[in-house]
A and B are shown apart, each in its own frame.
Chain A
Amino acid sequence: MYGFSTKYSRRRLVVLASLLAAAATVTACSAPGADPESPGDSAAPARTELGTEPITLEMYAETGFPLAKALADEFTKQHPNVTFNVREDQFTVIVENAPRVLASDNAPDVIRLPTMVDLVKDGLLKNLDPYFTAYGWDTFPASQLVQLRVAEGGRPRGTGSLYGMGLGYSVTGVFYNKTLAERVGMTQPPATIAEFEDLLAKAKTAGVQPIMQFNKNTAGVNFPHQALQNQFGDPAQIADWIFQKPGATFDTPAALKATQTIQRWARAGYFPKDANALDYTAMMGEFQKGNGLFMFNGDWESGTLDKSTSGNVGFFLFPTEAGGGRHVAMSAPNTFGVGAKAKHPDAAAFFLNWVHTNAKAREISVTVGGSHPGGPSDLAVPAVAEGSVLAQTLKASQQLGSENGAVDFTANATGGIFAAAITPEMQKLVAGQQTPEGYVKAVQAEYEKELSR
């Protein structure tokens, strides 16, 4: 029995090995990957008419954010010859799928984009410069589109050709629970970081959870971290690092001070004890239940919070260190781009222009998306209910725009920085397993590793 089974399995092994070898020789002839394609046909004339021919635009959008679908529906209502085929996925899934979907023959015309740098490098995105000229997008504030520009070859970002547009331009800051704010004696939003910390301490003493923040799956504590970092130094330094400008580093006094502050807050118990086990959904649930005085988040939740807490939530931009002065906050477009292999790039660009300029579309951007609709500076922002948190975030967005204080998220610096460094290291920091110095160095080390590839 034993002899037979070994002999048998040995023979099977030989067969297996030879098959494997055959397969290897067949596949090993050429290196994987496509030949570099010729760069997108950016010189082709951009058509700004939609035409009357019936077409279907392929759209790849984010699950849980109904804005894209709402805009598509309204567009079809106004232009019945254009219908949309919408595919939705979670953002992380889009991040994973985008390169392959864009490289396929059935590339989407309009796609929600993760970090665009790699996609531009691989020639997967349509260069929108011709449309920029044709539609006169130069009437938009330049700062609105700066994050969507990528230099030739993918580096640095923030300069070069335009590769995306925003379906709304979001702003981040601090949401607060009005009832709890009253209880800790907060009569108006804090004007300095010291005042903010004072409120945290008061909340802790009053038995109120000072900050409700998630830190599971992805590092939600990176929101307050960057909010601090933005104030402690020159935001241009942060922008340079995010845009991968040569010589930029995360290892700065501002980042270190921010990290030290986060460590202090974590030790003082200002974050939930189980932050590392709280995901985004759980955080939203807890905050809406009234658990937590503050929550660092973005205006995409304004509509939800208005509805679920019936106006019990307010919003402010994170204060500056000394009070007054220019506010700096993370603010990023809800980026959508056009696939280089898209079948209807002209119609897709027409749609993107319509989103920014059509009155009804702008209204949908605000009411459904909760964010500033962008577009030319002289177009009015649609009105919303006075006293709502949506009105507050919109006002904050305009204030940030006029103070030129928008910076992108550090999490967007490279494709892998958030998952590979910021998230695990931030989880360690909050749990007391990492020092501030170690955190800053670890993030920078991963950044350099990725850029060297």
Chain B
Amino acid sequence: MTSAAGSARTSRATDHPSPVRPHRPRWGRTARWSGWLYVLPAMLMYAVFVLRPLALTFQYSLYQWNGIGVARWAGLDNYLTVFTDSDLLKIISNAFVLIIFFSLIPVALGLLVASLVRRISAGPFGTAVRTILFLPQVIPLVAAGIAWSWLLSSNGLVNQVLGAVGLGGLARAWLGDFDTALPAVGVIGAWVLLGLCTILMVTGMSKIDPALYEAARIDGAGPVREFFAVTLPSLRHEIGVCLTVTVIAALASFDIVYISTSGGPGLQTTVPGLEIYRLAFSQRQVGLASALAVVLMLLVLACVLPIQRLTREDKG
């Protein structure tokens, strides 16, 4: 470390024989270099395990390749397939439907629950509520998927409850029915992500200055007005984080779908993540799978960047 800093100093001295204000730039320059040294290991890992695979995926997407044999140059054909194949378009649209369940519902419910438990959040009861709500986040998604597929099976708890309250006519194999499979998968996702959203909101609310609420009260605001005038604007950051995380979870979903329905019935619940995996490893179309992966990445960015922009902008 000392030798590196020393050599940087000498080389700098020879490069610039007549430095103006010698002290500060020298110190700044050295610090910058040693800073890079600190992040070098992390950068290397990042390059090897993130950037290289990313570049390779992009490269593969331009070929027709089965993963073993010789690849054939395909140009943009794979991308053309992604955007014209009706099955693949349906699969992509499924992911957008999941956004409703994975993002909008947990965020809306999370806000609601958080504002309800805000007042009690300090006491032991608040801790219990937070723990219970956060629990789904701790359970592995695979376990959650299995548990829910039992609950939603044709003789599972959901149908038993429906039967018990006289709604037996509604009972069905929720995950095997063409009309209900995707919403059923969505419900599992909403259950998993609700806890995360609630916890983030509760944390965000605890940072709001109580004086604001007091002022609102004095101005005659009811709980609803209070929520929209004070709570919601103050939670802009938290909502942004929630939306970002959950939209990514929706678009890149895999585990829950793979476990609960395997994408069926038909293509009703097949999502891009699952299809990429199938194309690459079971159908051995590495090129097309990579193209779909690149498209999925761009879709995620296209959805998440505006959210980031909208919620980060601070007028103050």
A contact residues vs B (CB 8 Å cutoff): 1-2, 5, 16, 19-20, 23-24, 26-28, 31-36, 92, 95-96, 99-100, 103, 118, 121-122, 124, 215-217, 273-278, 415-416, 419-420, 423-425, 427-428, 431, 433-434, 450, 453
Bound: A416/B72 CA distance, A? 20
Kindly state whether residue B64 has any CB partner on chain A within 8 Å. yes
- Residues of B within 8 Å of A16, CB to CB, are 51
Kindly state whether residue B82 has any CB partner on chain A within 8 Å. no
Contact A96 B68 (CB under 8 A): no
Contact B55 A33 (CB under 8 A): no
Kindly state whether residue B281 has any CB partner on chain A within 8 Å. yes
Give the residue name and chain of the B residue nearest to A429 (CB).
B266
Given A118-B66, A276-B265, A433-B266, are A415 and B59 neighbors across the interface (CB < 8 Å)?
Answer: no
Contact A32 B59 (CB under 8 A): yes
- Residues of B within 8 Å of A33, CB to CB, are 65, 67-71
Contact B73 A31 (CB under 8 A): yes
Selected interface stretch from B129-137, B170-178, B241-249: B170-178
Of B64, B153, B284, which is in contact with the most chain A CB atoms at under 10 Å from its CB? B284
Given A1-B314, A423-B264, are A36 and B54 neighbors across the interface (CB < 8 Å)?
Answer: no
Minimum CB–CB distance from B45 to chain A (whole Å) comes to 13
Given A95-B282, A99-B284, are A273 and B69 neighbors across the interface (CB < 8 Å)?
Answer: no
Contact B262 A415 (CB under 8 A): no
Contact B262 A216 (CB under 8 A): yes
Bound: A2/B58 CA distance, A? 33
Contact B175 A277 (CB under 8 A): yes
Contact A277 B173 (CB under 8 A): yes
**Subset of 9 A-B contacts with CB under 8 Å:** A5-B312, A19-B47, A20-B55, A32-B63, A33-B65, A33-B71, A34-B69, A36-B69, A99-B67
Contact B65 A23 (CB under 8 A): no
Minimum CB–CB distance from B77 to chain A (whole Å) comes to 12
- Residues of B within 8 Å of A31, CB to CB, are 63, 65, 70-73
- Residues of B within 8 Å of A427, CB to CB, are 264-266
Bound: A35/B70 CA distance, A? 6
Kindly state whether residue B60 has any CB partner on chain A within 8 Å. yes
Minimum CB–CB distance from A212 to chain B (whole Å) comes to 13
Among A19, A32, A124, A423, the residue within 8 A (CB) of B51 is A19
Size of interface on B: residues with Cβ below 8 Å to A: 47
Bound: A450/B288 CA distance, A? 13
Contact A23 B55 (CB under 8 A): yes
Among A19, A24, A96, the residue within 8 A (CB) of B282 is A96
Minimum CB–CB distance from B38 to chain A (whole Å) comes to 16
Minimum CB–CB distance from B93 to chain A (whole Å) comes to 16
Bound: A99/B173 CA distance, A? 37
- Residues of B within 8 Å of A450, CB to CB, are 283
Contact A34 B70 (CB under 8 A): yes
Bound: A362/B71 CA distance, A? 43
- Residues of B within 8 Å of A19, CB to CB, are 47, 51
Bound: A2/B316 CA distance, A? 10
Kindly state whether residue B302 has any CB partner on chain A within 8 Å. no
Residues 152-170 of B, flagged 1 when their CB comes within 8 A of A and 0 if not, give 0110000000000000000
Kindly state whether residue B42 has any CB partner on chain A within 8 Å. no
Bound: A364/B282 CA distance, A? 32
Contact B55 A96 (CB under 8 A): no
Among B68, B178, B283, B314, the residue within 8 A (CB) of A124 is B68
Minimum CB–CB distance from B145 to chain A (whole Å) comes to 13
Kindly state whether residue B12 has any CB partner on chain A within 8 Å. no
Bound: A428/B313 CA distance, A? 47
- Residues of B within 8 Å of A276, CB to CB, are 173, 176-177, 264-265
Residues of chain B from 233 to 266 with CB closer than 8 A to chain A in the complex: 261-266
Residues of chain B from 98 to 119 with CB closer than 8 A to chain A in the complex: none
Bound: A275/B176 CA distance, A? 8
- Residues of B within 8 Å of A32, CB to CB, are 56, 59-60, 63, 65, 71, 286
Among B64, B178, B284, B314, the residue within 8 A (CB) of A431 is B178
Give the residue name and chain of the B residue nearest to A286 (CB).
B155
Contact A277 B154 (CB under 8 A): yes
Kindly state whether residue B142 has any CB partner on chain A within 8 Å. no
- Residues of B within 8 Å of A424, CB to CB, are 263-267, 270
Contact B266 A274 (CB under 8 A): no
Give the residue name and chain of the A residue nearest to B264 (CB).
A427
